[in-house]
Amino acid sequence: MQGNLHKPKKQQISAEESKRKQVIRVKILFATYGQIPQAGKLPSPFSLLQKELEQRGHQVDVLGHHPDMQRVYLISQTRSGPWTLNLQGQSVPKAPIKERVYDEVFRYYQKYLPHVHPWIRWREIERYTFELILSLFDLGKYDLIHTHDALATRAVWRVKPAHVPLLYQCGGLLRHDPAVAAEVTSPDSLKARYVACEEYMAATSCDQAIVPSAWLKKVWQEEFFIPDGHSAVIHRGMEFAPFLQWLQYEPYPPVEKKKGVQIIACPPGLDFQSGSTTLLDALARLKQQRDDFLCWMVGDGPWRGELEAYCREKDLTRHVLLLGERTDWPSLLAKTDIVVWPAPAVDFPLPLMEAQVAGTAIVACDSSVIQEMVRHGETGLLFEAGNSLELSERLLQLLDTPELASHLRNSSKTYGMNEWSSAKWAEQVEQLYLQMKRKHRVAAPAGEKKKSRDSVAQLFAFRLRHRLDEGGWNEFAHRLPASYLVPDFDFLRVLTETNQFDE
């Protein structure tokens, strides 16, 4: 009789747990301007976040460009069994829309803003095209939209239904993007001001933002005056199981490690911005004290020839091996005694995260971001950026003091296993989702009345050259918010501050 009394209670608890799990399930759209493979997975590392969130019971659809950049498509996936994954998708061809947008917007710029560089015009036209395409998808069915780049964030913000909260995942400053940095050569140019506007508008065109480091959060506060509570610091994670398995494999192509020789590995690549010359200068000094080391420089770059010549100049040919591009970094790491990161970083370098999980001693540049993950004397040793003398002293300290090296390896591994778990990453993002849903539900009214326009021409703030009321174009007039206009006036204010031509 006593046992029977407990059975309903057990069933009741089970039902309550099941109900709770259903309540917290979130329907999420990952959106990016970038390319996504047809399998519906974002490029790493966000494919890992997608996987972790799906394992927690959430639905994660993905929207972005096809690899050929000629279509934008949305992929939804559901499981019908332990082995079966059902994919469903929608696709919108880009060319028919962009051709019209290009023709009208380019003519507007030629007439009113002839000083604006074609590179800026291209970015504007790409975003307006992306915005129109976004409006053709049913964004209102999602509990939350999670964007992964600045362009997608501004575009989604301008076209999404008001009741859907938007989370922006900032991977770093746009001006540090190699493609942008190659184009923006002067900090006083209109290009530079435009990119700064892109940074600011992405940071403010969302209900909440994620930044990967406290350093970037501080930059946002000091340069763009973003309130402290608007961004949360959540760094990415990594999947431990396959990485730890890979540590057991031999490197391929094979790399010899001689007995009694300490291996120092440097993974950032081969260019003068990666701190390569600082490291080589430090090794030249170290060679005067110790002769039992070999440095593996992993990666490649346009400066390889110059660095090879620099090695010969410093008489380091027996102590430095340029390995080129490798896909087996974990296998190399398993044979490495010390990992060196000789240059400042703007995000947590994945090779350093992996070095910590592998339990490898670390010597790294003391930039603000690196100091967030490597604590001097506890989980690694730091040296002043560009100071080859101090770097050589740190390396000598580890080679001469095995007890210190062992302590740092153990502490680093403990820290890495606790800090870089992809499950922990997903849990932090999930908590932010739920927090945003609660806040948005209170702030937003139930239901949403949407005004429609009489004509697609009303989407543009200037007189159109061609009629756009044929071939389905009026669908945009009914789908886009009443406040939507081309051009985007927040960007237009920046572009009209000067009439000086950029080179």
CA–CA dist 94, 67 (Å, integer):
13
- For the sheet with 320-324, list strands across it: 320-324, 293-298, 262-266, 338-341, 361-365, 381-383
Tell whether the model's pLDDT for residue 411 goes beyond 70: yes
User: Which of the pair, 438 or 432, is modelled with greater confidence?
Assistant: 432
Question: Which two three-digit tokens encode residue 379?
Answer: 């989980």
- Longest Cα–Cα distance of the chain, Å, equals 89
CA–CA dist 369, 236 (Å, integer):
14
Residue found by looking up tokens 């204010």 in the block: 493
**Predicted confidence band at 1 (pLDDT cuts at 50, 70, 90)?**
very low
pLDDT value of residue 499: 66
CA–CA dist 478, 336 (Å, integer):
61
251 secondary structure, DSSP code: P
Superfamily of domain 241-420: Glycogen Phosphorylase B; (3.40.50.2000)
**Predicted confidence band at 244 (pLDDT cuts at 50, 70, 90)?**
very high
Domains 23-237+431-495 and 241-420 share a fold: yes
Tell whether the model's pLDDT for residue 209 goes beyond 70: yes
Angle between helices 46-55 and 422-443 (to 10 degrees): 70
H helices of 420-488, in order, are 422-443, 474-479
Mean pLDDT across the chain, nearest whole number?
A: 89
Structural contact between residues 48 and 70, judged by C-beta atoms closer than 8 angstroms: no
Q: Which amino acid is at 151?
A: L
- For the sheet with 166-169, list strands across it: 85-93, 71-79, 59-65, 27-35, 144-147, 166-169, 208-211, 231-233
- Tell me what the mean pLDDT of segment 237-256 comes to: 94
Tell whether the model's pLDDT for residue 432 goes beyond 50: yes
Sign of CA dihedral 419, 423, 429, 431: negative
Residue found by looking up tokens 């090296």 in the block: 405
For the chain, the domains span 23-237+431-495, 241-420
For the segment 299-310, what is each residue's pLDDT rounded down to a tens digit? 988 888 999 999
Structural contact between residues 175 and 199, judged by C-beta atoms closer than 8 angstroms: yes
Tell whether the model's pLDDT for residue 14 goes beyond 60: no
Question: Which two three-digit tokens encode residue 36?
Answer: 């996504």
Beta pairing, strands 381-383 & 361-365: parallel
Angle between helices 402-419 and 350-358 (to 10 degrees): 110
The burial of 233, by beta-carbon neighbours within 10 Å (0-12 exposed, 13-18 middle, 19 or more buried), is given as middle
Tell whether the model's pLDDT for residue 68 goes beyond 50: yes
Tell whether the model's pLDDT for residue 398 goes beyond 90: yes
- The model carries a pTM of 0.89
CA–CA dist 201, 193 (Å, integer):
12
For the segment 145-184, what is each residue's pLDDT rounded down to a tens digit? 999 999 999 999 999 999 999 999 999 999 999 899 999 9
209-221 burial, b if ≥16 CB within 10 A, otherwise e? bbbbbebbbebbe
CA–CA dist 339, 354 (Å, integer):
10
Question: Which two three-digit tokens encode residue 110?
Answer: 């030629």
CATH 1.10.3710, domain 23-237+431-495, yes or no? no
pLDDT value of residue 80: 66
Question: Which two three-digit tokens encode residue 390?
Answer: 């101090």
pLDDT value of residue 444: 46
Structural contact between residues 435 and 402, judged by C-beta atoms closer than 8 angstroms: no
CA–CA dist 89, 69 (Å, integer):
16
25-54 burial, b if ≥16 CB within 10 A, otherwise e? ebebbbbbbeebeeebbbeebbbbbbebbb
pLDDT value of residue 302: 82
Structural contact between residues 29 and 63, judged by C-beta atoms closer than 8 angstroms: yes
Question: How many beta carbons lie within 10 A of that of residue 312, not counting itself?
Answer: 11
